[in-house]
Structure 1
């Protein structure tokens, strides 16, 4: 029996770097070959598609590696853009298409200047992102509600993944292979291509990756809200109000959609954010606990150890980069 066909769409907007478009396609082809070599039944594979505005002004597939397959993309990538003359803005048809996809649970990703069109479409408000170091100041100035982390190669913020420089499409590609096909396939793909499978890509796999494609719009609205600053002080009443549901109905639908109770889900998100701070900042563990929503650092340490298997201090000593 064959496994799932997981579609990754590449947006061919004006000025897009074609080397990244075709390079990502080659990377995902190699990943499929590595997965096929496992000789296991039910192995998933990656479907690569290209999307572009047609003469009628609609965004359509213009290339499909598995044209016999059905469904919509799990991920859509905005590759780098080499043409700054347009201000990195997208045509409205592209913006509306991305908004609809994101609202339905599709993960959006960008490389380098590809973060600008996502920001212009209003999809990065309150989120953490990265871009090319030379563009970070401009991105932060133009979109003050976006937290820009130029020192990072890849920032995985759940349903939004951004990568840094022009060649960071390799890092993004491997991160997506890790998420969709698993760390073994990602490691074999990197080895075959003779590129580094950096620690961040492995960390992204082991971190909590929420499901956004369950089809419950009210729950998805809450999930996307929690990916921003609301995560810190979120409570059941606030989440239910955001969903426009009574608390008992919200609890039932949230668990059905995500597989977790809202409190468990928030714990996972907070620990994910704490791991990021422990790796990349020099803040004390107490400060980290407070930033992710725990006023009691003792409670934070217990939750962190239960979900990660290491204490916050041991995790920082093993994976921290800020002091190196």
Structure 2
């Protein structure tokens, strides 16, 4: 039997704690209904017997205090909220315990923005990690030695698991159920909890808002120019010349400031504009393509799918009920 420790961090998101407990105890129930032995021993582990979560609106009771648990097999780090630097700070008491358990063979899984606590352990340094797309800029600033993977729902490296944004963590929880209880139980859990199994990407849900939390004013001006001229064909040469910066130096500065090359940024701005059109307007794909400055349909489809994980038609059908193709 695998011991599952669901941590109860300060500033935790209550739903992620409840959902984690639900799926592991549910898997046990499914196994027992089939005449089989349960696989998981599930305990809620806190720094105190009662921890206030969700901005103090709720209190979660621990089954066991962190100081009294000396051995576990699977550690679940729920999502956190609020000021992320402070949330990491007030949960540092968990860090040496997580490191020690991992070094003794435990697997560690962070749900959504719980990745900030996992990254604070240093265990992810030099490795990849998934997290909520909306906190990507903050994550990279706080943990530059960790490679944040945009778009991926679940990342796993050497017993360290992380998941994408919000309810994406169900995909990680299902993965762990399948690993330890089998595919049949994972499918049963997916059906009973109405979950999509084997989802790979959070890209269709991401919204690109630009990365302007930096102090490089010419680059910020270039970003604003790109965003205000979405219908135009803009080259890197045009931008570097406009702001009187040599091309190679401009590209380096742009990448450092935004974590995108200029070409990637232009593409993402255009595709974000196209997404909004596909979500809300009755325009066909070619009309949308022209309005965001593309003239090559194949190139538009290729870039759109690379960024969103869906074709333009599939994206429109997913989000625009009135324009969906029946």
- Residue 144 of structure 1 aligns to a residue whose secondary structure is coil
| Counterpart position of 1:161 | 161
Alignment pair present for 1:191 and 2:191: yes
Q: Shift of the alpha carbon at 1:200? A: 4.7
TM-score (norm 2): 0.53
Displacement of 1:108: 0.8
Q: Within 1, Cα distance between the matches of 2:107 and 2:120?
A: 17
Answering whether residue 37 of structure 2 is matched by residue 47 of structure 1, we say no
Superposed, 1:167-182 pairs within 5 Å as 167-182=167-182
2:121 corresponding residue in structure 1: 121
Name the structure 2 match of 1:33. 29
Measured on the aligned residues, the alpha-carbon RMSD in Å equals 2.7
- Following superposition, the deviation at residue 111 of structure 1 comes to 1.2
> SS of the counterpart of 2:93?
helix
1:19 aligns with 2:18: no
Shift of 1:171: 1.5
Query: What per-residue deviation string (whole Å, max 9, x for no partner) do you get for residues 115-140 of structure 1?
Result: 11121221210111100001112212
Alpha-carbon distance between aligned partners in 1 of 2:84 and 2:40, rounded to the nearest angstrom? 34
- Where structure 2 has 5 or more consecutive residues not aligned to the other structure, the ranges are 50-60, 202-305, 312-326
- Deviations along 1:62-116, one digit per CA (max 9) or x if unpaired, are 217xxxxx98321111111122264331444211111111111111110121111
How big is each residue's C-alpha offset from its partner over 1:192-227, in whole Å with a ceiling of 9 and x where there is no partner?
1111112559xxxxxxxxxxxxxxxxxxxxxxxxxx
1:110/1:162 contact within 8 Å kept: yes
How much does 1:26 deviate?
1.3
| Structure 1 residues 19 and 35: alpha-carbon distance in aligned structure 2, compared to 1, 3 A threshold | same
Q: Cα offset for 1:25?
A: 1.1
Report SS of the residue matched to 2:62: strand
The 1:120–1:163 alpha-carbon spacing in structure 2 relative to 1, beyond 3 Å, is same
How much has 1:172 moved relative to structure 2?
1.8
Distance 1:323 1:25 in 2: 32
- 1:111 maps to 111
5+ unaligned residues in a row in structure 1: which ranges? Answer: 56-60, 65-69, 202-319
Whether the 8 Å CA contact 1:126–1:146 is kept in 2: the answer is: yes
Contact 1:79–1:169 at 8 Å: present in 2 too?
no
8 A contact 2:130–2:155 mirrored in 1? yes
Q: Quote the Cα distance in structure 2 between the aligned partners of 1:192 and 1:140.
A: 37
1:240-319, aligned counterparts within 5 Å? none
Corresponding residue for 1:151? 151
Bigger radius of gyration: 2
Q: Distance in 1 between matches of 2:197 and 2:309?
A: 20
Q: What is the rounded CA distance, in whole Å, between the counterparts of 2:63 and 2:195 in structure 1?
A: 27
Query: What's the counterpart of residue 88 of structure 2?
Result: 89
- How many residue pairs get aligned? The number is 190
Q: Is the 8 A contact 1:32 1:46 kept in 2?
A: yes
Q: What's the TM-score once normalised by structure 1's chain length?
A: 0.54
